[in-house]
Amino acid sequence: MHFNSLNHETFHTMNNELRELPAVELSTLPIILKIVTESSLADQMQLTELILNDQAFFQKLMDLFRICEDLENVDGLHMIFKIVKGIIMLNSPQVFEKIFGDELIIDIIGSLEYDPFVPQVQQYRKFLKDQAVFKEVIPFKNPVVLSKIHQTFRVGYLKDVVLARVLDEATVASLNSIIHSNNAIVISLLKDDSTFIQELFARLRSPTTSAESKKNLVYFLHEFCSLSKSLQMGQQLPIFRDLMNEGIIDIITDALQSEDKKIVLMGTDILILFLNQDPNLLRSYVVRQEENLLLGLLVKGMITDFGEDMHCQFLEILRSLLDSVTFTGAQRDTIVETFYEKHLGQLIDVIILSCPRDEASTGKLAGTAGRVESQNSTKPEILLNICELLCFCVVHHPYRIKCNFLLNNAIDKVLLLTQRREKYLVAAAVRFVRTILSRHDEHLISHFVKYSLLKSIVDAFVANGNRYNVLNSAVLELFEYIRKENLKLLVKHIVDSFWNQLVQFEHLPSLQSFKVKYKQFLENCGPETNVNAPDPRKRIDERALEKEEEDYFNEESDEEDTTSASHPQKVQSQPVLSNGVAVSCPSSRPRSGGLVDYDDEDDEDYRPPPRKQTETSEDDEGSMESLGLKRKLTPKEKEPGLAKKQRLGKSSKPRDSVFAALCSTLSQAVLPSKKTANAMHLSTQSGEENHIEKESGSPRSCDNKSPNEGNLREKESPRNCSEYLHSPSDNRQLSGEDPRSLLPSKSSPEMAVNGS
């Protein structure tokens, strides 16, 4: 039979004048196909209305499908496939409600088995009838629940299998909405049926229930909890609370002890659903449970090989129970204490058994046959999850983990993982150390240094060689962290203990920076390690001041040594003042008084006597006292004294210009020896009378000065004019004249003082 009798123009005219769909017959299938597949957006809306208005359209179409299938009319079946697919692509909820009904859904899926682009006919209906078996563990009294369950499965099968290649995003979203709505309806109807929930838990607790029936009941309970997420947020929490009151955690505790790994997996999934909903529900149960059986089962499940990726689920549950951020109070403390007292040792023992200590102590990474067997006894994924949990505990329970690590030497046991063949396990151990160091705990850092715990990491890094892998990056990042955080004890420990091994990697920038940091610590270790210094900055200033004074007195000693060599007889003489008071000088070298200090015009002729430095005189004690004060002055404290000297020097008014020049030079001198020589050269030109007059008044002026002024003079200058009179070498260099022309060669110190 041919369907090409109608040309395109005829169809176009009919389509414009279309007011109703043509009768569903074998001869009109080409017209219906063109209407469905070639209509515009506006025409699709009109088409949807026509299909919905014709109540018998889908029923007639499915009857025609069965006729074509009986007659094996392939062309007709291909056209019906395109028509049904086009109607589904209209994405109309009202249309979906009709075609997904119990009367039509199977035939609709059957019509989609004849895809013209697939060479073989699909067997969708056979799968739904024979293989997709619906198990009703507890009979549903409400027929709506059973109908929605079947519809949900079939729509999902249609979306994921039958039309997975052709559906657009909008249609997929609409189908998902139907599935989600059906799940919410089913859960709402079941939770409102109190007898159904009670019968479910009664069968789960009954000892007469067979293992297969209990398994199906656990599966149904898991699906019920999973579908509860389809409800609104306000409706989800009451359902989980009702399940908790019914004793669902007891059922899960029994499921975790089952030998069937699938049942254990279902139990962990249910626990995760409770944790995602409200972690306090599960935590409160763990606290109330005797002997914390559930917590022990979770730890046991974490170290048990289930052959699947179930270890991450146990890790996630334990993290939620031990989380100190989202959970506070007595309940958290109870769970944490129980974990550290009873279960943390189990996790450490697993690491010890997977890496025997006798082999780990050799520090070699090459394995033997025995080691391979011991490593295969524990899956690497289990060891990796244990490391992750320990890092979590270090961050959230620093005090408890610190006490446990220090008492049980647990860090050394965890670092046995560096002997494993798997590089990612060695990197996990390095991350564990990195997490501990991030706490900046002095006791733990000292523990690392005392027992040389970083040796295993350095050995693993050296054995890895120049290979750029996760182990190389983890160790370099650890060194970089130690350097940036200025962990001095570890920096010195690593360089002092392991640099002979690390020197072959010195070309790496991280290790170069690490060595530079080590050298900086060595340079600064002197002042930094002095615990007696309360203020390091003050100590630096004092040390600088002492060095300046030392240079000052060394320079003075050199000049006076030259003077004593030229005039040895003057060192041994005892000068006598005009008032008959003898001046005592130190036996080591000649030492004179301070610079001349004038306070006002009445004391212009003041000439201080040489300072006495013997310990028997009271003046010597004051001089040493002033010298001690000078040593404690900082440069900023010395500036006011210097300014005062300059101010006092400028305020004096000399009787003649030469004498004024001499006083100004002496009071403002920075290098006293040289400038005094110049002043003395000028004073010799002014005559002998002024010199005698100036020095003869010194005893009187000294008697009239107050003690404060005397101390000021002692602070300002350690020398007097008589010292520079005995320095021929300086005078010779500055004035160019023979210094012996100023004083007779046989003059005594007494004559120099009295101006004789």
Distance CA 392, CA 325 (A): 12
Cα atoms in the Cβ-side hemisphere of radius 13 Å centred on 20: 7
As beta bridge partners, residue 576 has 582
Distance CA 720, CA 724 (A): 7
Cα atoms in the Cβ-side hemisphere of radius 13 Å centred on 285: 22
Give the model confidence (pLDDT) of 575-590 as tens digits.
Answer: 444 344 444 443 444 3
Residue 553 pLDDT: 57
Helices (H) and strands (E) in the chain, counts: 43, 0
Q: What is the pTM of this model?
A: 0.62
Residue 372 pLDDT: 35
CB neighbours of residue 371 within 10 Å: 19
Residue 235 pLDDT: 87
Show the tokens assigned to 597. Answer: 């200090």
CB neighbours of residue 560 within 10 Å: 21
Task: Give me the DSSP letters along 78-109.
Answer: HHHHHHHHHHHHT--HHHHHHHTSTTTHHHHH
Residue 152 pLDDT: 94
Distance CA 431, CA 440 (A): 15
Sort 367 into a burial class: Cβ within 10 Å, 0-12 / 13-18 / 19+.
middle
648 neighbors 659 (Cβ within 8 angstroms): no
Show the tokens assigned to 587. Answer: 């036996």
Cα atoms in the Cβ-side hemisphere of radius 13 Å centred on 275: 21
Residue 550 pLDDT: 60
Cα dist from 620 to 258, 486, 584, 625, whole Å: 98, 51, 10, 8
3-state secondary structure of 703: helix
Residue 424 pLDDT: 95
Distance CA 669, CA 311 (A): 86
Crossing angle (nearest 10°) for helices 657-667 and 672-685: 170
Listed in sequence order, the residues at least 6 apart from 92 whose beta carbon sits closer than 8 Å to its beta carbon are 48, 52
Domain ranges across the chain = 28-163, 409-524
Distance CA 228, CA 236 (A): 6
Q: Identify which of 136, 139, 150, 159 has the alpha carbon closest to the alpha carbon of residue 185.
A: 150
Amino acid at position 157, single letter: Y
What is the Cα Rg of the chain in Å?
A: 52
Q: Within the chain, which residues score under 70 in pLDDT?
A: 1-19, 308-310, 326-331, 356-376, 526-756
Residue 356 pLDDT: 64
Show the tokens assigned to 55. Answer: 């109540």
3-state secondary structure 410-443: HHHHHHHHHHCCCHHHHHHHHHHHHHHHCCCCHH
283 neighbors 246 (Cβ within 8 angstroms): no
Amino acid at position 308, single letter: E
Q: What angle do CA 291, 292, 294 make, to 5 degrees?
A: 135
Residue 447 pLDDT: 94
Task: Give me the DSSP letters along 286-333.
Answer: HHHSGGGHHHHHHHHHHTS--SSTTHHHHHHHHHHHH-SSS--SHHHH
Cα dist from 650 to 390, 548, 664, whole Å: 78, 27, 7
Sort 92 into a burial class: Cβ within 10 Å, 0-12 / 13-18 / 19+.
buried
Give the model confidence (pLDDT) of 27-70 as tens digits.
Answer: 999 999 999 988 888 888 889 999 998 889 999 999 999 999 99
Residue 145 pLDDT: 93
Show the tokens assigned to 265. Answer: 């997996």
